[in-house]
Amino acid sequence: MNVRKAVQAIKRRINIRTKIIFLYLSVLILSFTLSVGIFRIIHQKSLEREVGDAAMQTVNALKGNLNFIFDNVNQFSTLIYFDRNVQNSLKNIDSASIDPHIHQTIQSSLVNMLLSGDYISSVFIFDIYNNYYYSHKIGPISVNKDKVYQTNWFQDLKQNKGEPMFISKSEDIIQFITRPDHNYISLVREISDVDDYSPLATLLLTIDEKTIQKYFDEVGKQYNSQYCIVDSKGNYVIYPSNYDKTMDEYFLMEQEVENGYEVCHANSQSVILARQNLNIHDWKLVGMLPISDNMNLSEYYKSSILLIIGLNFIFVFVCSLVLTKLIFHPLSKVQKQMEMVERGEFIEMPINPEQTDEISQLKRVFNQMVRAIIDLIHQVKKEEKIIAQGELQLLQAQINPHFLYNTLDAVSALALIEDHENCLKMTQALGNFYRNSLNSGQDLVTVDDEQSCIESYVTILNIRYDNKVTLVCDIEHRIKKEPILKLILQPIVENAVHHGIRNKEGQGTIHVKGYLDEEDIIFIITDDGVGMSEERIKQILEGKTKTGKSGFGLYSSIQRIALFYDVKNPMTIHSEVGIGTEVILRVKKIQGIETGK
């Protein structure tokens, strides 16, 4: 704590010159930091562009290799399609029972062709009688021949008129018993009679995932990259070689570009994702290349940064000399003049009218401030006098001896005639009235408390004047706990009783309505008393009427509310002689203040 205070004391003693030099040094450091940051960003963008171009070249090369593989498999399927032994054997099948000779002939042809197919791992033929013939390099394999014609790819094949098409796996037509998660790509096509083009069978060739991943691995060694084939639904057709679940965040993320590359950030790593359509269904070849962390700045960048630092040091030194002559010396004079004002000597500074620089303007503003302070002092003294008068009248209203004496006399009279109920009611109302009006010396009460105050006041008057006044309160529930200045309604109700209802024949009604209007609280107090003329209203608003002994005058109340809420005309009065009076009071909603604070 002592160290902290010592640092704060040093900061307070530092003059402007030292602070500005520190500011320039801070700007120097900031300039250096920004320069390094900008150069690194430029270097990184250049690196991203180079890696992205390399990624696209690699993906395009891989696409060419994959197209070569797919074309080779397609040509292999054509050889099987036109193989004489296969054609003749399929034509001679006429039932679901397999002829051993036909089976051996087809099987032999498939084995011989499979041995010459470098990229094919297995081949299957399903004839129209639900028989199948196969040869494979990887087994064992379970075949669900009964589901062939129920698959989606078979229906697509029919719509494609039997033309070759590639699919992912085979919808469980073939299953690898010992390796249930084994992945592969299949080519399916229809084998038709070469003479009359009638369908004879369905051909299914498989390409093992490892065959394609081998090409991915050979390319990925150079850039430590990973490659895969995905579809538009976010499924892997061919997985990356070293697949783990965290790769999904890159390979299966929402695509911003169809063909091309983009920079992606995930797991605190930046990578280049390159995509290329394979023109097979919605398959895409996706490559992921990590951006190298080796981003050392070149000698050119280092020299530029050092030059900027040197220029900044020279700039700071020169500026300190210029500022001393042009700013610090004139400011020291302004400082001395301010110290005089601090001592209470409100003397204006001499100004050369021909000078229009900032220091001269500062002197002019300083002189305006001195004049404004002098005017403000006079204004404060005037307002303090008004406030003192208002507080005195408020105190008189709160502890009005005439009202208190009359009420106590009424209590004594009720006690003498043994009217205990009204005696108790008046005593309780009197206590509640003074408790709310005094409020322990605090200025704020809730709307609910102010309502209770005027209800107690009217209760006392009704007992004294034989229920001559009816009070109706219509206050919105949401404002009842809002803080307001105390005794802003009671003087209005008191004026309505003594100058409106008491002078009319029979009973009278006072209606008090309160509601919230945006950020304002509105009170409308109406009575059906004798009313008043426009001239009388003008006298009240201008303070030309005398406050009667009944309590707190309306003009004093208006001044008090205007000063507290900082508004000019918080109260408006409308009245018609013989009909009644309406007083509208608008005050600001007090934010963030609890009553009693």
Q: Is 471 part of a structural domain of the chain?
A: yes
- Shared domain check, 491 and 356: no
The C-alpha atoms of residue 251 and residue 286 are separated, in whole angstroms, by 7
User: Is 67 a domain residue?
Assistant: no
Is-contact 493 437, C-beta < 8 A? no
Q: Distance (Å, rounded) from C-alpha 210 to C-alpha 366? A: 85
Answer whether residue 293 shows pLDDT above 90.
Answer: no
Share of the chain above pLDDT 70, in %: 82
pLDDT at 513: 94
Instruction: Average the pLDDT over 108-137 and give the result.
Output: 84
Mean pLDDT, all residues of the chain: 80
Report the distance separating Cα 227 and Cα 145, nearest Å.
33
Q: Using pLDDT thresholds of 50, 70 and 90, give the confidence band for residue 521.
A: very high
Average pLDDT over residues 306-310: 71
522 and 435 part of one domain:
yes
pLDDT in tens, 183-233: 899 999 999 988 888 898 999 999 888 888 888 888 877 777 888 998 888
Structure confidence at residue 258 (pLDDT): 67
How crowded is the C-beta side of 333, counted as CA atoms within 13 Å?
14
Domain CATH code at residue 559: 3.30.565.10
423 & 569 share domain: yes
Q: Do 345 and 477 reside in the same domain of the chain?
A: no
> Which range, of 132-141, 227-236, 347-356, 512-521, averages the lowest pLDDT?
347-356
DSSP 8-state class, residue 443: S
According to DSSP, residue 242 is labeled T
Whether 558 maps to a domain, the answer reads yes
What average pLDDT does range 524-541 have in this prediction?
A: 88
The confidence score (pLDDT) of residue 10 equals 67
DSSP assignment string, 478-514: GGTTSEEETTSSHHHHHHHIIIIITTSSS-EEEEEEE
pLDDT > 80? residue 418: no
Residue 294 confidence (pLDDT)? 42
Q: Are residues 455 and 346 in the same domain?
A: no
Mean pLDDT, range 481-490, rounded to an integer:
89
Query: What's the whole-number mean pLDDT along residues 25-30?
Result: 74
Same domain for 563 and 417: yes
Q: What is the structure's pLDDT at 379?
A: 78
pLDDT at position 185 is 92
Does the structure show a pLDDT above 90 at 404? no
Three-state secondary-structure class, residue 261: strand
In a domain, 408, yes or no: yes
On the question of pLDDT at 501 being above 70, the answer is yes
Same domain, 333 and 420: no
**pLDDT class of 597 with cuts at 50, 70, 90:** very low
- pTM (predicted TM-score): 0.47
353 and 411 belong to one structural domain? no
Most confident of 86-90, 220-224, 262-266: 86-90
Residue 2 has pLDDT above 80, yes or no: no
- 490 in a structural domain: yes
Q: Answer yes or no: is pLDDT of 398 > 60.
A: no
Q: Does residue 550 have a pLDDT over 70?
A: no
281 vs 513, higher pLDDT: 513
**Helical axes 299-323 vs 16-82, angle rounded to 10°:** 160
Token representation of residue 374: 């002098």
In the three-class reduction of DSSP (H, G, I as helix; E, B as strand; rest coil), residue 126 is classed as strand
User: Strand 520-527 vs strand 483-485: parallel, antiparallel, or unpaired?
Assistant: unpaired
- Could you tell me which of 318, 320, 374, 323 has the C-alpha nearest to residue 346? 374
- Same domain, yes or no: 447 and 576: yes
Domain edge (last residue) among 346, 380, 414: 380
Statement to judge: residues 349 and 471 lie in one domain: no
Q: Is residue 352 part of a domain?
A: yes
User: Do 418 and 551 have their domain in common?
Assistant: yes
> Residue 39 falls within a domain, yes or no?
no
Mean pLDDT score, 441-453: 86
Give the lowest-confidence range in 285-289, 389-393, 495-499. 389-393
Look up the domain containing 376 and give its range.
Answer: 328-380
Comparing 70-84, 289-303, 534-548, which segment has the lowest mean pLDDT? 289-303
**How many domains would you assign to the chain?**
2
Residue 511 lies in a domain: yes
Are 476 and 343 within one domain?
Answer: no
